[in-house]
Structure 1
Amino acid sequence: MKLTRIATPLMAVALMGGATLFAGAQANQAPTTESRSWNTPPPGTEQAQSAYRDGVEAAQLDMAAKRKIEAKSSHLYLHPPVKGAARDEYRSNFTVGYEAAVKHNSGA
């Protein structure tokens, strides 16, 4: 009888403690590409993330205005808001964001 009174609470504590460890392990998993939203910029510099967001927005505006769907014809691609060597990186990230928005809206 006394063994049951001691063993039952100990088992309950052990079970609850184990669940906490499993929950913590699941929460610490790194996000994968599949779990990241399509319009969330990939990790990188603030400028690269801004270019990605600009590309997403430009694609949405082009589709809404029934303009030609091509990143290289967009105003921000042709005239990026950065200077010098950063232009190529901006254009690259802009194109990735633009294509992600087009792919998402086409249902692919």
Structure 2
Amino acid sequence: MTHAANKTIRFVTPLIAVAMFAGTSMVASAQTAQNSAPAANMSMNPEQEQAFHDGQEALKMDTAAKRKIDATASHLYVHPPVKKEARDAYRANFQKGYEQAKQGS
């Protein structure tokens, strides 16, 4: 394999993975909107809603990948995409979303 082909493969492979993940989350987000408890979401700010939604999506991804069903083992729970001072709130709402999705499935 040539050096140029190697570079192309290294560039294209992650793009394919991102495209697959993005497609899955778009389909799942339509389903999540139907499954979310409106009362729970009304009292949340946008960051909390995102964490809740991320928890629901994480359960779907864990189930599809046949991974351990545990919110605290999820990558986004362990490495939340928020600033340090918001991590605990993110994790709490992430876990709520994960657990609600588990109850609904």
TM class, shorter-chain normalised? 0.5 to 0.7
Q: Structure 1 residue 98: deviation in Å?
A: 0.3
1:78 aligns with 2:78: yes
1:87 corresponding residue in structure 2: 87
Task: Report the AA paired with residue 89 of structure 2.
Answer: E
Structure 1 vs Structure 2 CA RMSD: 1.7
Q: The residue matched to 2:99 in structure 1 has which SS? A: helix
Partner residue in 2 for 1:42: 41
Structure 2 CA distance for aligned equivalents of residues 102 and 63 of structure 1: 10
Pick which of 38-47 and 49-58 moved more: 38-47
Which structure has the larger Rg over C-alpha atoms?
1
Q: Indicate yes or no: 2:56 matched with 1:56.
A: yes
Q: Deviations over 1:40-96 (max 9, x none)?
A: 562211000000000000001101111100000000000000012110000000000
**Percent identity over paired residues:** 48
Which structure 2 segments of 5+ residues have no match?
A: 1-33
* Structure-2-length-normalised TM-score: 0.62
Q: Which amino acid aligns with 1:63?
A: T
Question: What's the counterpart of residue 33 of structure 1?
Answer: none
Letter in 1 for 2:76: L
2:66 and 2:103 mapped to 1: Cα distance? 16
TM-superposed CA distance for 1:38, in Å, is: 3.5
> CA separation in 2, counterparts of 1:82 and 1:58?
16
Matches of 2:41 and 2:68, distance apart in 1: 26
CA offset digits 1:9-34 (Å, max 9, x no partner): xxxxxxxxxxxxxxxxxxxxxxxxxx
Aligned pair count reads 70
Structure 1 residue runs of 5 or longer lacking an equivalent are 1-36
- Which amino acid counterpart does residue 78 of structure 2 have in structure 1? L
Listed as ranges, the matches of 1:11-26 within 5 Å are none
Match of 2:101 in 1: 101
Larger helix fraction of residues: 2
Q: Secondary structure at the match of 2:58?
A: helix
